[in-house]
Amino acid sequence: MGTLWRIHHQNHEFTSRGWIMGVLNVTPDSFSDGGRFFGTTLAVERGMEMAEDGADVLDVGGESTRPGAEPVNVADEIKRVVPVISELRGRTRALISIDTMKPEVAREAVAAGADIVNDVNGLREPGMLEAVAGTSAGVIVMHMQGTPRTMQAQPYYRDVVQDVRDFFVERLDTLARAGIDPLRVALDPGFGFGKTLAHNLELLNGLDQLRMEDRPFVLGVSRKSMLGTLLGDSRLEHRAWPTVALTSWMRESGGEIIRVHDVKPNAQAMRMTEAIIGPARSA
């Protein structure tokens, strides 16, 4: 049996097949789509398109976490995401995650049908541990240095791989003491969240060192500025194929869940990679 992720009392394993998580931004200021899917109808249509293209998880977010993003109040965030989740829940078998740092939003989203709480702040907001512990949802714990507004202001680490690993150790212990089964937890190193290009590359190269307690990885580099920097091309539309290449590499390197904006080409890349490397190496 490979790596397990327990979501609503059901165990999912990734020995032969990883997951694609499609990014569904219900915000007017997303860095990646400029608010193209802001509004319930457009967001639901986009979510259904992603599910048809092969998304295993639809990650619904109502607050931008791009560098320098301004916070959104609880009421507005709930108003953005809950109707989308409710409608998607009735129309697709894909899992639904809520991308939020707020306990109130997490509770409302799970009540509306979300299966996973994806928290870029690693469940550090007061009340978030209790909110998640009171559900059977899966949870994604991400590492971020600072806040979205400040995270890219000269991030510094003694050893970024060890520092992120130490964070994961502390979070897993804290979540377990709060009554959250470790099998419910997936880990995300947080590429681009308080990291320089060098930090991101070190984390990619050190994925094996970040593995602990056989927890699955959620990895997201889709359309991020590191791709433009590496390729010397700042145009957002030119980051799609580098993302596909990294999806294949990350799956071969053991990543179980890959978070992307362009579902179909990344899902195809993952399936092709798994066919080549076989179950023994994709576990």
CA 32 from chain center: how many Å?
Answer: 15
The model carries a pTM of 0.93
Of the candidates 246, 275, 274, the residue with the CA atom closest to the CA atom of residue 260: 246
Number of domains in the chain: 1
Backbone angles phi, psi at 258, to 5 degrees: -115, 125
Tokens of 3: 């790596």
pLDDT tens digits along 188-229: 999 999 999 999 999 999 999 999 999 999 999 999 999 999
pLDDT tens digits along 156-199: 899 999 999 999 999 999 999 999 999 999 999 999 999 999 99
**What is the identity of the amino acid at 249?**
W
Other C-beta atoms closer than 10 Å to the C-beta of 237 total 7
* 259: annotated active-site residue: yes
Of 259, 264, 271, 281, catalytic: 259
Domain of residue 89, residue span? 4-282
Task: Report pLDDT for 1.
Answer: 54
> Is the per-residue pLDDT at 253 higher than 90?
yes
Of 195, 223, 224, 251, catalytic: 224
Buried b (16+ CB within 10 A) or exposed e, 4-31: ebbbeeeebebeebbbbbbbbbbbeebb
Of the candidates 36, 54, 32, the residue with the CA atom closest to the CA atom of residue 45: 36
* 224: annotated active-site residue: yes
Instruction: Please state, in angstroms and rounded to a whole number, the distance separating the CA atoms of residues 207 and 202.
Output: 9
Instruction: Write the CATH number for 16.
Output: 3.20.20.20
Q: Within a 13 Å sphere around the CA of 176, how many CA atoms are in the beta-carbon half?
A: 9
